[in-house]
Structures are given as structure tokens and as C-alpha cells.
Amino acid sequence: MSPASGRRNYAIVTMAYWADTLADGAIRMLVLFYFYQLGYNALQVASLFLFYEFFGIVTNFAGGVLASRFGLKSTLFMGLGTQLAALGMLAFLPASGLTVAWVMASQALSGIAKDLTKMSSKSAVKLVAGDGEGRLYRWVARLTGSKNALKGVGFFTGSLLLSLIGFQASVGVLMALVGIALLLAAVLMRGGLGDVKSKPKFGHLLSKNRAVNLLSVARFFLFGARDVWFVVALPVFLSSVLGWKFWQAGGFMASWVIGYGIVQAAAPAILRGKDPTGKTATRLAFTLALIPLVIAAGLHLGWHPAPVVVGGLIVFGIAFALNSAVHSFLILDYTDHDKVAMNVGIYYMANACGRLAGTVLSGALYQLGMRDGGSAGLLLCLLASGGFLLATGLISLALPGRKRSLSAASVT
């Protein structure tokens, strides 16, 4: 395939990824606030997303093999089609039929869809951008940043649609968005993307690259640290303790994710240096660990919770975005072209494991803290976040520098 055709297909994959990301963020807020409105507690709401995260793990574990065997184009179409099925399960059933088990099954499909499209787009960056100094870092940062900004737009869109037109009509709007993206991708894409001659087997799923494995474990703790207080505890806290309306809570979280995405996209300029290394990730992780601990200290001392939480979350978002952007670059820098889908799959499997752990702990710790009322539930989640981030920093100490220094640390 010519370079021009590769860039064209990459642009189409990215467009489809953006559409799926927006829908994914919107359905997250729709499900969370709709069921909380029905009287579900924090732990019950968290349980609705367990299959979403669990099947994200499964998808990333197997998705690298699927992409390597059938190409990134195939995994993209599988992802978009699966997202349509997930949304259809919620759109065409009466509200009375939306049981917990049914919603969990729908979210399982949505988790599979999200990770198939994400893996397709992230892997395509490596194939199109190459390894030029600074180029891969900039492309990864822009893609990851734009994705998170659009997920933030999805958060606000879902909250607003729920307030304006109700749950099922909102899901119908999201189905139309994903359906249009699938149709355009099918019509506009030419040839393949990411096709390889070697066909790995499912028995080859575990990476022999030490750097990839270390970074994946660090990623587990990094995203567990975010989701342990952001996914369930924070929106419930904003609504129940601070008294914010759904659209206000959703709008704030959307603004945070959009800002987080903007910082990610600008990471190469903000960090002002050459391509980052393992040492960069280590410094950022230990810096980030201080922020939730400071917020928790403020709540414990009785400071007004609104400015402490809102201000702290803004600072946390900036530092977290930089750390995540460095991770997203390093996973592609550490891997070879012919193993990119496999290693990206392993990396995002660890990412999904961290999200699952964070989601479960977010609901459980918040509910545990509710016995003491007020901010106690969020405080427990913040302490857990700080612990996860300290683990991220300790693991990152073992990360190597750049790919060219990996020959002694990798077996390929």
C-alpha cells in the first residue's frame, strides 16, 4: 500500500474512532445518571459497568491476535458493528425491561466495541507515523488527546440528552452517529491497514518484551488510580453531597475530560524536550501521587469540599494527562512494527484491568464511607488513588529509556 493510501485509511479509522468515543462517553453518563435517578446506590451503579471493563480486558487480550491475523480494518468494523448491537439492546426495549443483567450485557458489548476501535486506531499510528524523532510522539499525543476531548463531549452530550429527551431517545441518537461512521468507513476505506504476513497464535499473547510488560503493569495502577475516584464516586459525590444537577455534574466531568484531552495533545510542547523516556514517566507518576493525597487531607481537615475537589481535580487532570501521554508514546516506541497490534493489545488489556479494579473500588469504598456521611466515601477513594499512584512510580523506576536501548532487555 502506498504512503498516501495508508494516511487516507488512517484518517478514516480515526474518524470512526472519534465517533465511537463520543458515543461511548455519552452512554456512560446516560447509564450512570439514569440508574442513580432510579434509586440505585453507588456500588449498584458501579456493578453496571463491571462487564464493560471485564470484556475490555478480554478484547485487548485477544484483539492483538485478531488484528495481526485479519488486519486493523477488520477489527475496526467489528468494533463499530458491536457498538451498534450494544446500543440497540438499550434503544428498542421498554424502560421497564432494562434490568441490571440486560444493561450489564449491553455494556459488555460496548466495552468490546470501544477497545476494538481504540486498538485499531492506536496501532495504525505506528504504521503511518513511523519512528522519526518527535513525529510519533506528536501523532500519538494528538490522537490520544482528541479522543479524550471527544469523550468529554460525550459525557456532556449524554447528560444533556437525558435531561432533554429521555433515555431511549438519547440512545437512538447515538446509534445514528455510530451507524453513519460505520457506513462512511465502509464506503471510503480502500485496501487494508495493518495486514501482516505472519499469523500469530493465541498462545503467543504474552509479550517477551520486558519494557512492554513493565509499562503495562504501571498502566494498570495509573488507570486504577484515576477510576477509583472518578468513575462512580465523583459523580455521585457531586450530585448527592454538593447537590449538583445531573447536567451540571455531567458538564463538569465533560469539561475536565476535554481539558485533559487538550493537555494530552499538547504534551510534547508542555514537557519541552526530546521524546520522553522511562525516567519521564517515573517523575510524573510520583508528582501525580501527591495530588489525591493533598485533596484527601483537605477534606479530612474540614475545608469546604467544593473548591477542594474541583480545584484538586483540575490539577490532577493536568498531571494525569501528561503521564498518560508519555505512556501512550512509550508503548509504541518500545515495540516493533510487526508486533505493534500484539503489544498494544497487551498494554490496553492492563489498562482495562486497572479500570475494572478502579470501578469496583470506586463503588465499594464510596459506599463504605457513606456510613460516616459527608465526604468520607470520596476521601477513602482518594487515599486508594494515592496508593495506586505510588505503585505506578515504583514500577516505573524499572522502565528503560528509548527503544534503541532495549536490546539487552528484550527478547523478540
Q: Find the mean pLDDT for residues 25-41.
A: 81
Tell whether the model's pLDDT for residue 410 goes beyond 60. Answer: no
Convert 352-410 into a string of H (helix), E (strand) and C (coil): HHHHHHHHHHHHHHHHHHHHHCCCHHHHHHHHHHHHHHHHHHHHHCCCCCCHHHCCCCE
- Segment 377-403 shows an average pLDDT of 89
- Whether 24 is covered by a domain: the verdict is yes
- Report the pLDDT value the prediction gives residue 69, as an integer from 0 to 100: 63
- pLDDT the model gives residue 408: 35
Tell me how far apart the alpha carbons of residues 16 and 312 are, in angstroms, rounded to a whole number. 33
- In a domain, residue 378? The reply is yes
Per-residue pLDDT at 135? 63
Q: Which of 130-134, 137-141, 404-408 has the highest mean pLDDT?
A: 137-141
Overall number of domains in the chain: 1
| Mean pLDDT of the residues in the chain | 79
pLDDT number for residue 405: 43
Flag whether 211 is in a domain: yes
> 220 — phi, psi (to 5°)?
-55, -50
Task: Give the pLDDT score at 363.
Answer: 82
Between 164-173, 194-203, 266-275, the lowest mean confidence (pLDDT) is in 194-203
> Would you place residue 406 in the very low, low, confident or very high pLDDT band (cuts 50, 70, 90)?
very low
pLDDT of residue 32: 81
> Which residue has better confidence, 204 or 305?
305
d(CA 232, CA 408): 43
Task: Please write the tens of the pLDDT for every residue from 50-59.
Answer: 888 788 777 7
CATH of the domain at 219: 1.20.1250.20
Q: Which strand (E) or helix (H) includes residue 31?
A: helix 3-37
Say what the pLDDT of residue 8 is. Answer: 72
Asked if the structure places residue 158 within a domain, the reply is yes
In a domain, 411, yes or no: no
Q: Is residue 412 a part of any domain in this protein?
A: no
Among the residue ranges 152-161, 163-172, 215-224, 402-411, the one predicted with the least confidence is 402-411
Q: Give the per-residue pLDDT at 346.
A: 77
For residue 318, the enclosing domain spans 3-405
Instruction: With beta carbons less than 8 A apart as the criterion, state whether 19 and 177 touch.
Output: yes
* Cell numbers describing residue 154: 460525550
Quick check: is 300 in a domain? yes
pLDDT for 387 beyond 70: yes
Is residue 410 domain-resident?
Answer: no
Q: Mean pLDDT, to the nearest integer, of 66-95?
A: 80
